[in-house]
Structures are given as structure tokens and as C-alpha cells.
Structure 1
Amino acid sequence: MVLQDARIHASAMIEDGAKIGEGVEIGPFCHIGPQVELGDGVKLKSHVVVAGRTKIGPRTRIFPFASLGHEPQDLKYRGEDSTLTVGADCLIREGVTMNPGTLGGRLETIVGDRCAFLANSHVGHDCIIGHDCVFSNNVMLAGHVTMGDFVICGGGSAIVQYARIGSHAFVSGMTGIGADLIPFGLAFGNRGYLMGLNLIGLKRRNFSREQIHELRRAYRALFAPEGTLKERMEDVAEEFVGNAEVNEILDFIRAGGDKQFCVPEFGKDVA
């Protein structure tokens, strides 16, 4: 179904069954599959391919040579029905790829609202991306990654499959993340280690000086060299009862079970 006020270039191919919202703009040489749904005000610049059971949220802008919803890059995929859902007001720049889910995962890939994906970044199958995340150029997410809100990934960074990235975290450019990254954490290095807290991001998100001070105190205690992690977590939980930000970090670590997570590099001072 194509609504009357959609602006569609004559060279674009819209397959029967596609749902096109009000005020949609589809530029030259785009291809829209039969199970695709484009929300109101979506803009496809040119040479964009949207395939599979893919839903694009209102006012999202997609630039040339982006490919969304084609078969996941998983050799175990056998054609099972799965979905890709992209939220509202996202920015998807040139060459971005996003894959739907698989039977071995959630059968769905979900991207939140107001996310920005710069040129040639990739979201693998079964990923769950929160709201207001930013991917710089060439960021690579393997399958099954879970990412919280307000995460920023620098150019060329890579996230291993099944990793969790906590809200408000920052992954530096060219950093490889091979384990979970705590909320508010700052990761750096060829094999990313925990460099400290994302203080710049916290200030930009209007966290108060007191909130930041308390987070830094909790961070130092949590990653101190003395005692076991379990002991340090118990001490931090007791000292920071009722502190929402600190408890978000503790809950994140507990939810990972025995999974590894990024820690400060040996011999480096805890920020």
C-alpha cells in the first residue's frame, strides 16, 4: 500500500505488499521489498535497499547504498522468518548494513529511536540497540549484541558476539570489545580494557557533579586491587544503597553471571 502523498522516484521499485506511510520520500534506484513497512516521513535518498520483514520508524533518514533487512550473515541461517525493526528519527548513512534475527537468537533485531549510524557501520543479527546511540564510521557489531541507551562507539570499533554494552558507555575508536562493558564505562585499546568512566558523556547528559562524584567513588572501590570482586561488590552495594547509577552497574555485572567483562588494565591507575 502506497499512500497518495508519498514522493517516489520513477526509477524506484516498490514491490506489491509494501506499506508506505504518509510523506515518505523514496529516491532514485531504491528497492523496497513486499514485506517492508516505512513509517510516516521516512526518507530514502537513493540506491537504498530495504528487504525482508523490516519496519522503519517515522522520520528516519537513509542514505545511498544502505542495505537493511537482507539475510543475516550467519552460516546457520536456513531462511526462517525473522525481523528487523528500526526506530523513529534515526540517521542511517552511506553503506550501512543491518541484518534481521535468526532462529539461534531472538528471531529479531531491534534498533531504538534517535540512533545515528555513520558510513559503513554494521548491526549484526539478533542485536538489540537502545535509544540515542551513535555509531561512527565502520563500527562493527557481531550477532547477539545487547546495547543500552546513549552509547557512543568510535570509528572502527568492533563488538564481539553476545557482548553487552551498558547505557552511557563509550567505546573509543579502533577498540575491540571482547567482553561486557559496564554502564558509564569508557573502553580503550586494541583489546578494549576499562579505562575509567565516560565522564564527558555524563556531563553532556546533565548528570550532576554529585552523581558523577559518587560514581567515581563507587568505580574506585569496585575495581580496587584488594579483595575479590564478590567482596568488593558487596561492599559497594552496602555503601551506595539507593544510588540508582551505582546499582545499575552492580545489576549489570550480576546479570552477566560468569561472563567476562572489561576491567582496568593491570598496572594502570583506577580513575
Structure 2
Amino acid sequence: MIPSNTICVSQEGPANALALNKDCTQVVIAGRNVFKVFSIGEDEFSEVCNLRVGKNLNLNFSSIDVAWSTIEENTLATAATNGAVVVWNLGRSGRSKQEHVFSDHKRTVNKVSFHLTEPSLLISGSQDGMMKCFDLRMKEVARTFISNTESIRDVQFSPHQAHTFAAVSENGTVQVWDSRRSERCLQQFTAHSGPVFACDWHPDVPWLATASRDKTIKVWDMHGKPNLEYTIYTIASVGHVKWRPQKKYQVASCALVLDCAVHVWDVRRPHHMRSWMQQHRICPAGCGHYCQLA
């Protein structure tokens, strides 16, 4: 269980991303100069391991994103600034936990996401405009998806259809793909008037939330032809968006710049923020130094 109070840890460098393990007992944070796993206690974070080891650190450790497998408790993946997708095994003996490095992208990888029911599948989205689905058993790229758009900023497997994933890009579009077919996407539509920085599937209904530089969060009904259900208007570019578990209409967001708060919205009341958390010292979507749970 995640503690109900707010706990905080300060690190020596910016944390670009964090991910919880499947039991919500540990959290991993990753950034340019930080890559650590913490145990979540009642009132503090306790460092479990520092994954930045060795004398000759390379760009594989400079992470834009980190994901924790929802099935395999010891498996992590990071997206690196040099185009590498790195898989980590926390159960591996010795100091180095690096399991495998995929060097198939040629530009920065912005996002990595594990399949929700197939532990061997991992997908990535990159500045090169491509998405790659990796088979962790074979340690190779299973399929490459070419978006024909600008940089892919986020990519997420759907919890509602096993072979479906969504990708959002710099040119404001959303694409929906069948992970078994790389020839063409199933759907493509313009979601925003500016770059889309993040997306998140609703866990219970076929809704996709998208967040953009155009200062809006939009909720799309993806059952059949995409249909805009709700629009939330914010005062700044939105860098991250996440549905709140067990609260159908609530979504959290943070600005790319401007403030250091996490905002919680009820999508049915888009002009009124439901609540906010101001404990960050630096904007959480803009490489904040603080990792916290509230």
C-alpha cells in the first residue's frame, strides 16, 4: 500500500521519470545522473540499490524514461538519450544489473512501455519518429512501426485490447496501432493544435487522455471512431497526464513549465481544478529534483 501521507527524497540531480513496481512497495527514479531504486516505507524512502555503477559510465545511464514491468518484479527498462533501450534485471548477481541493450533507435528514446499481460514485450517511442516492439526472450526487435510524423513523445499499450497501442507525436496527432501489423496504423487523427507530450489509457473504459503544449487535456472515446468526450483547459503546457485509479472521472496532470504542482481534475468539470499538490520544488514535468508520493 502507498502511504497516505507525503514523503519526499532529495537527489543530487534531476529525476526525469519514476515508476512503481507492481506491488507499489518500491519506486525507481531515473534521470541524467540518477538511477536508483527505493523502498517505500511508512514515512520515508529507503535506498535499495544504485544502478549507476562502474567507473566508465556511458550514455546508457542518461535516462529520459523508466518503466517497471507489471508482471516481472525484477525487470525494468529505460529510454536513453543516445537512442538505447536498456533492460535491467534487479535479481541479477553482482553490482551491474544491466541485462541487455537495444541500440536500434538512432535518436533519443522518449518513452518505453511494457505490455500489460505479455512480460516479454516492450515498446518504445523515439525522436526518430519510429516505435519498436522488442521481444525480450529473443533479445531482438520484433516489429518496427514508422509513424511518418515527427518525434514520438509517448506510447502506451491499451488495457482493453491486447494487441493495441497508442502513440502521440510532436505534430499533434494520435495514432492507434495493432502491434501484430506494422504496415499501417489502424487510426490516425489530429488531437491538438500543438505537440502532444503524453497520453494515458483509462483502466476501466476505452478512453484515452492526451496532454499538449496547447494547454489542454483531452479525453477521447476510442470505442470505434475516436470521439472527443471532454476537454480540460489549463494555464500552461501540459507535460504529463495520468488517470487516477478507482476514480473514473479523475485525472492528474503537471505543467511542462510555470509551476511545481500536480493538479487533479474531474473531467466533467473542466474549468475547476479539483485539488493540487505543491510539495515539489521544481516542476515535475520539467526534470524536477524531487521524487515523492502524496
Same fold (TM over 0.5): no
Structure richer in strand, relative to its length: 2
Structure scoring higher RCO (CA < 8 A, sep ≥ 6) equals: 2
Structure richer in helix, relative to its length: 1
TM-score by length of 1: 0.29
Structure with greater Cα Rg: 1
